[in-house]
Amino acid sequence: MPISSVSSDQNALTLTVVGDYPVPVERLWQAYADPRQLERFWGPETYPATFTRHDMAPGGRSEYYMTGPDGSKSRGWWRFVSVDPGRGMEVEDGFANDDGTPNEAMPSMRMVFTFEGTGTGSRMTSVTHFPSVEAMRQLVEMGMEEGLRSALGQLDGVLAEPAPAAAQSAG
């Protein structure tokens, strides 16, 4: 299991996920930078993600939807606050309406990803910052923690494959 730990801190309004992988940090970064690889592990196993836009640069935007077992679609978006290739990124993460506009009825959150080399490969740490206790409760009750475990549990399979040539040159 690649996920080393999942912890929440209601006082700090955070949910932290740490994963350790037996690949170089560059390979781990490529999995997040390439939308075709990212969509293979961003959604939970029963709700696979499809990225329709992935502009991984400060001010850039990603748009995606997850398709449920019944064919229903849940849409989301990221706005890249910062990107430090191979080291980390910060995104504003939110839900979207069917037309792709932000769903103001749902809370958005800030996610900070860091990537670092370890003695056995690499580590990804993701810290989700919630705007309020209520938002944190709502998203946790919707299954966010289980969804992250399911989604990131698929990352090992992606990383076991060589990076596509396009991702290798884009890294």
pLDDT digits (tens, 9 = 90+) for 103-154: 999 999 999 999 999 999 999 999 999 999 999 999 999 999 888 888 888 9
pLDDT digits (tens, 9 = 90+) for 13-69: 999 999 999 999 999 999 999 999 999 999 999 999 999 999 999 999 999 999 999
In terms of phi and psi (left: phi > 0; alpha: psi -120 to 50; beta: otherwise), the region of 154 is alpha
**The CATH number of the domain covering residues in 3-162:** 3.30.530.20
- Check if the beta carbon of residue 100 is closer than 8 Å to that of residue 8: no
Residue spans of the domains in the chain: they are 3-162
Q: What is the pLDDT of residue 7?
A: 93
DSSP-derived letter for residue 24 is: -
